[in-house]
Amino acid sequence: MKFKTILTSTIIFTLAGCTIDSSTVSPLPEKDSQSGPIGKPSAPISMSYKILTENPKAGDEIEIQVTFSSTVSSAISTSMKSAKKLTWLNSKTNWESTLSKSGERSRIPSLKVSAEEDGIYYVHLMASVVEQGNTLFKPFTILVNVGSVEPILESAGEIVVDEKGQKIIIQDGDSNN
């Protein structure tokens, strides 16, 4: 009996405490139609690259020319994040390049790497730019094919077309239920 009295009292006090006087609540501000999409912004940076070493073989010095562009006129900072199984031959792994307001492309010093054996390798770079006081980042990946190794592309799943004509990829999933 005592338990029912305590439970009833708790429920009454909880409900009484949850009531809100609507006259004290301010309305939510209307969303500004000029604001952009909600989500994590990406830096307005684009990258292009060219592998200058033709047909690189294991042990060769591989030179990669990297160029960035941005709609923001502030400096672009770039750092090499990883190059697994590649030997890094540059003395630096961080660069800062300044773009002109005209949106010209900015080139960082050529990247130099070497691989001990034939294979497909990736160089991962991170670029950042300051826009309106916020530092925005964007990752980039450069594919380096050493030797005559052909990339093995695995299917991401079965491609089907729905009733609206849109392509959908159906992937197999692991179920641990």
pLDDT value for 51: 92
Q: Does residue 103 carry a pLDDT above 70?
A: no
Task: List, as own/partner pairs, every contact residues 129-136 make where C-beta atoms lie below 8 angstroms and the sequence separation is at least 24, other chains included.
Answer: 129/43, 129/44, 129/45, 129/70, 129/72, 129/74, 129/75, 129/76, 129/77, 130/72, 130/74, 130/75, 131/43, 131/44, 131/72, 131/74, 134/41, 136/41, 136/42, 136/43, 136/44
* Number of residues in the chain: 177
Q: Does residue 101 carry a pLDDT above 50?
A: no
CA 135/CA 45 separation, integer angstroms: 12
Maximal CA-CA distance, the chain: 87
For the segment 122-146, what is each residue's pLDDT rounded down to a tens digit? 888 888 888 888 888 888 989 899 9
- Average pLDDT on 28-57 reads 70
pLDDT value for 69: 82
pLDDT value for 160: 87
CA 75/CA 146 separation, integer angstroms: 32
Q: Angle at CA 97, nearest 5°, toward 86 and 65?
A: 40
What is the β-pairing status of strands 76-82 and 94-97? Answer: antiparallel
The pTM (predicted TM-score) of the whole model is 0.58
Average pLDDT over all residues of the chain: 74
Tell me which of 102 and 152 has the higher pLDDT.
152
Q: In this structure, which amino acid lies at residue 81?
A: K
Domain residue limits, the chain: 45-146
Q: Does residue 6 carry a pLDDT above 70?
A: no
- In this structure, whether the domain defined by 45-146 belongs to CATH 2.60.40.10 is answered with yes
